Amino acid sequence: MEALLLATTSDTNNFSAIGIVGMRGSGKTTLSQIMFHSSRVQESFSPMLWVELPQYPNLRSVVLAILECMASDFSLSVNTCDLDDHLHNMHLYLFNKKYLIVLDNMWPASSDDLDFNKKYITPLWNGLPL
């Protein structure tokens, strides 16, 4: 897994996302933590953000959770901006950086939510620079 993650950083003009999926309790978070704390991974990415999401996330809560993890490096006023402003601020902060963001507890609001990527993931890309 580490080799796959590090291989995606060889071309700085290439945006990559890796999804780890599986049943509850199968070790997804543990595997992600091992990779996140690897010295080779830590040398390759900055910033590195571990984002704990609420059980039933919506796009706004995902974006705000990411921005809250950035708060130590990034001055933001989460209550005064709309979602597009938040995505723009996130984009500006991450621009020209090799970053790693782990979204822990990312799961659909219901098993019937077939538009999960359309509702949450695709709009989130607007805040993530290539």
- In order along its 130 residues, the chain shows pLDDT tens digits of 677 777 755 555 566 677 777 788 888 899 999 999 999 999 989 889 998 887 777 777 888 888 888 876 555 555 556 788 888 888 888 888 888 889 888 765 555 555 665 666 667 777 787 6
What pLDDT score was predicted for residue 78?
A: 54
What pLDDT score was predicted for residue 24?
A: 80
Burial of 35 per CB tally in 10 Å (0-12, 13-18, 19+): buried
What pLDDT score was predicted for residue 12?
A: 52
In the numeric block, the tokens 């890796």 are attached to 18
46: domain range?
Answer: 2-127
Q: How many domains does the chain have?
A: 1
Within 10 Å of residue 62's Cβ, how many Cβ atoms?
20
Q: Which residues contact 126 (CB under 8 A, 6 or more apart)?
A: 87, 91
Given a contact cutoff of 8 angstroms between Cβ atoms, the answer to whether 53 and 32 are in contact is no
**Mapping DSSP to helix (H, G, I), strand (E, B) and coil, where does residue 49 land?**
strand
Name the token pair of 85: 């402003």
